[in-house]
C-alpha cells in the first residue's frame, strides 16, 4: 500500500554543514508523527523541505506515491499545508479574508492578489467552506472579526483554520503550542486530531512540549544535529540513552 507521505534520505546543507542528514520516514493516511530535538537540530529545516520552502540537496519526498518538486505553492496545490512557530497573520484582514486567500491559493486562482486588496467577493461555496472550517476550530460566526484584535491563542486557531480550509492531505505544524496555555494547546490538538480522524489528513508536528507530543500520539522522530537519532513511540525514544543524553540533556 502506498504511504501518504514518504520521505526518503533527504539531506540539506548550509555552508557545508548538514542541517538535515539522510533522514527518512513514512506516514500513512490519518497518522501523526511528532518531531522532537534540541534547538538547531534541523527540525524546521526538515519541515521547510517537505513544504517546498527549502530545496533538499539529496533525497526525495513523495505524496501518495508521486514525487514533490517545485515551489511551496506547488506543494500546497498538491495537498501540503503548513503553520509556523511565529504566527503569520495579516492584522488588518478579517478571519474570512485569511481563509479566502488560502482557498484561492490552493486552487491557483488568478484573483489571489486582488483578494489581498479586497476587491473581489466570496462565492457561495467559499462562504460555506469558510464558515464550516471556522466552526470546526471554535470560531463560528466570527468571519468578519479583524484578526489584529485577537489574542495569540485565537490567532493560532486562525492559522490552523487557514491551513485546514484547503482540505490538506498532509498538515505540517511547527511548534503549534508555542505561547499557548494548557487549555489552548489541548483545544488545538483536539481540533487537529478530530480533523485527521474525520478526513484522513496526516500530521507532522514539530513540538517542544512533551505533553503535547503525548497528546498527538503516533510515532516520534528525534533529530539531533540533523541526524535521525531515534524513532518510535514517545516512551520508547525517551528510554533510549542516546536520546536522553542528546535531547533531554540539551534542553534549554
The per-residue pLDDT for range 20-53, each reduced to its tens digit, is 999 999 999 999 999 998 888 899 999 999 999 8
Order of strands, sheet of 219-224, starting from the edge strand that comes earlier in the sequence: 80-82, 170-174, 202-206, 32-36, 219-224, 227-232
Q: Is the pLDDT of residue 252 over 50?
A: no
Q: Cβ contacts of residue 144 below 8 Å, gap of 6+?
A: 94, 95, 96
Per residue in 122-145, pLDDT (tens digit) is 788 888 999 999 999 999 999 999
Per residue in 171-196, pLDDT (tens digit) is 999 998 888 888 889 999 999 999 99
Q: Is the pLDDT of residue 4 over 60?
A: yes
Which letter does DSSP use for residue 63 in this model?
E
Where do the domains of the chain lie? 1-79+168-252, 88-167
Tell me the CATH architecture of domain 1-79+168-252.
3-Layer(aba) Sandwich (3.40)
Amino acid at each position: 500500500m502506498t504511504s501518504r507521505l514518504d520521505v526518503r534520505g533527504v539531506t540539506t546543507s548550509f555552508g557545508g554543514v548538514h542541517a538535515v542528514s539522510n533522514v527518512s520516514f513514512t506516514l500513512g493516511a490519518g497518522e501523526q508523527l511528532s518531531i522532537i530535538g534540541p534547538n538547531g537540530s534541523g527540525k524546521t529545516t526538515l519541515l521547510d523541505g517537505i513544504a517546498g520552502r527549502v530545496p533538499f540537496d539529496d533525497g526525495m519526498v513523495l505524496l501518495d506515491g508521486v514525487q514533490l518538486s517545485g515551489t511551496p505553492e506547488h506543494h500546497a496545490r498538491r495537498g501540503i499545508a503548513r503553520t509556523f512557530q511565529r504566527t503569520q497573520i495579516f492584522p488588518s484582514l478579517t478571519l474570512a479574508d485569511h481563509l479566502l486567500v488560502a482557498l484561492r491559493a490552493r486552487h491557483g486562482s488568478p484573483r489571489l492578489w486582488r483578494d489581498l486588496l479586497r476587491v473581489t467577493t466570496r462565492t457561495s461555496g467559499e462562504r460555506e467552506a469558510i464558515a464550516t472550517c471556522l466552526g470546526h476550530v471554535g470560531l463560528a460566526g466570527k468571519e468578519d472579526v479583524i484578526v489584529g484584535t485577537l489574542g495569540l491563542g485565537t490567532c493560532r486557531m486562525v492559522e490552523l483554520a487557514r491551513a485546514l480550509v484547503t482540505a490538506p492531505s498532509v498538515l505540517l505544524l511547527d511548534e503549534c503550542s508555542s505561547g499557548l496555555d494548557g487549555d489552548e494547546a489541548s483545544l488545538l490538538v483536539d481540533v487537529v486530531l478530530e480533523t485527521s480522524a474525520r478526513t484522513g489528513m496526516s500530521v507532522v508536528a514539530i513540538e517542544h512540549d512533551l505533553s503535547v507530543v503525548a497528546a498527538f500520539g503516533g510515532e516520534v522522530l528525534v533529530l539531533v544535529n540533523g541526524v535521525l537519532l531515534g524513532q518510535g513511540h514517545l516512551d520508547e525514544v525517551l528510554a533510549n540513552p542516546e536520546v536522553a543524553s542528546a535531547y533531554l540533556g540539551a534542553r534549554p
